[in-house]
Structure 1
Amino acid sequence: MGIFDKLFGKKSSDITLGAPVAGEAVPLNQVSDPTFGEEILGKGVAVKPTGNRVVAPCDATVDLMFDTGHAVSLKADCGAEVLIHVGLETVSLKGEHFTTHAKTGDHVTAGQLLIEFDREAVTAAGFDTITPMVICNTADYKEVNAHTGAAVSEGDTILILVKE
């Protein structure tokens, strides 16, 4: 049992998801878009990115890679339905500043590159780059615990889903 297991009371049946992007992990309620901030789509976490890459938070199948590259929906091997949305209102960029590295139907492994984006260009275009990661089937879990208030690297544990 590692130090984090002791600190966070993680049980072996709990599911951990890694940070999809490097940056500062913040509570979802810090996202100004109510769809995310008010947990309409589900509970989760957000990252204020310092990086330009979005990676898979777990082993999963790409349920939908948006043509615009601003978001990806994953069906995790563990059953979680995960939505990663790069920035707010970034769909209106119509794919500019985004490059996808996976497509709908692909099976990806934790840490695998999904999307690259030009954070500086997105910001310069007037968009907030905060990146929510939401569990769309939150009701399937007893708890969705976010680890926030710290800098995270790609793949660092950022969400723990408690099943029972």
Structure 2
Amino acid sequence: MLNKLFTNKSKKNTISVMAPVDGEVIPLTEVPDPVFSEKNMGDGVAIKPTGGTVVSPVKGTIIQLFSTNHAIGIQTENGAEILIHIGLDTVELEGEGFSSYVEQGSRVNVGDKLITFDVELVKRKATSEIIPVIITNTDQMKEISPTGQDTVTASQDVLMKLEIEKH
């Protein structure tokens, strides 16, 4: 019984971040934008999408939704903050081709639809369709571990595991 209590307690500080979109996993260092590749916004991985639906990778609360719907931030109950940035330089599209299904403050579960986007439009008009998935509060993480998969399916495959520092 005592071991079970310790096991449950430690699991509360570990989070599985599921894939928010179908696609090919790319190391963050290979993203063609130094803001992401040099990890200025935080650590994580990127996905070259094969579909245009972004779902919640975790259970949490929407803490940021950009007016152009090109990026969204989610905070888990444990305090991890995850930014999903759809494409590179997509803010310049001013929302063209993007639709949001949530708003700031919404509670979401894994797999809930967040945003849809026109992949072909993003490929044509933005710098890249690559989607960085960033842990923005890396200072509060003990470890960020990508699972090393080559391809992922949204809400079915684990993209990375996070171990949160105990406070």
TM-score, scaled relative to structure 1: 0.89
Aligned mates of 1:107, 1:88 — CA distance in 2: 26
- State how 1:23-102 maps to structure 2 within 5 Å: 23-102=23-102
Residue 60 of structure 1 and its aligned partner are, at CA, apart by 1.0
The verdict on how the C-alpha distance between 1:160 and 1:96 changes in structure 2, with shifts beyond 3 A counting, is same
Q: Deviations over 1:60-89 (max 9, x none)?
A: 111111110100011112210111000000
Q: Paired residues, what number?
A: 154
| Residues 72 and 85, structure 1, Cα contact 8 Å, conserved in 2 | yes
Aligned mates of 1:122, 1:32 — CA distance in 2: 15
Aligned mates of 1:32, 1:74 — CA distance in 2: 24
Residue 57 of structure 1 and its aligned partner are, at CA, apart by 0.6
TM-score, scaled relative to structure 2: 0.88
Partner of residue 117, structure 1: 117
Partner of residue 137, structure 2: 137
Amino acid at match of 1:89: D
Deviates more, 1:37-46 or 1:117-126: 117-126
Q: Name the SS of the counterpart of 1:48 in structure 2.
A: strand
Amino acid at match of 2:65: M
1:157 paired to 2:158: yes
Amino acid at match of 1:111: G
Q: Deviations over 1:119-163 (max 9, x none)?
A: 011112243010001001111111111123511000210010123
Amino acid at match of 2:91: V
| Residues 27 and 148, structure 1, Cα contact 8 Å, conserved in 2 | no
Unaligned runs of 5+ in 2: 1-9
Amino acid at match of 1:159: M
Unaligned runs of 5+ in 1: 1-10
Residue 14 of structure 1 and its aligned partner are, at CA, apart by 2.0
Based on CA coordinates, which of the two structures has the bigger radius of gyration?
2
Q: Name the SS of the counterpart of 1:32 in structure 2.
A: coil
RMSD: 1.3
Identical aligned residues as a percent: 41
